[in-house]
Amino acid sequence: MNKHVEELAEKFFGEKYEQLDAQKKKVVHHLAERRHISRNIAQDFSERVTFGQRIADRVAAFGGSWVFIGIFAVILGAWVILNSFILITYRAPFDPYPYILLNLFLSMLAAIQAPIILMSQNRQAYKDRLNAEHDYEVNLKAELEIMALHEKIDMLRERQWNELIAIQKEQLRLLSRLIEDLKKNK
**pLDDT, tens digit, for every residue of 164-181?**
999 999 999 999 999 998
1 has a pLDDT exceeding 60: no
List, for residues 116-143, the tens digit of each pLDDT value: 999 989 988 988 998 898 898 899 899 9
Peptide bond into 98 cis (omega under 30): yes
pLDDT on residue 92: 82
Name the pTM for this structure. Answer: 0.61
Confidence band (pLDDT; 50, 70, 90) for 31?
Answer: confident
The type of residue at 97 is: Y
C-alpha to C-alpha distances, 66 to 11, 72, 113, 120, nearest whole angstrom: 55, 10, 16, 18
34 has a pLDDT exceeding 90: no
Sign for the CA dihedral angle at 62, 53, 106, 89 comes to: positive
C-alpha to C-alpha distances, 144 to 27, 29, 139, 141, nearest whole angstrom: 9, 12, 9, 5
The residues spanned by each domain of the chain are: 36-185
16 has a pLDDT exceeding 90: no
pLDDT on residue 83: 87
Contacts of 152 (CB under 8 A, 6+ apart): none
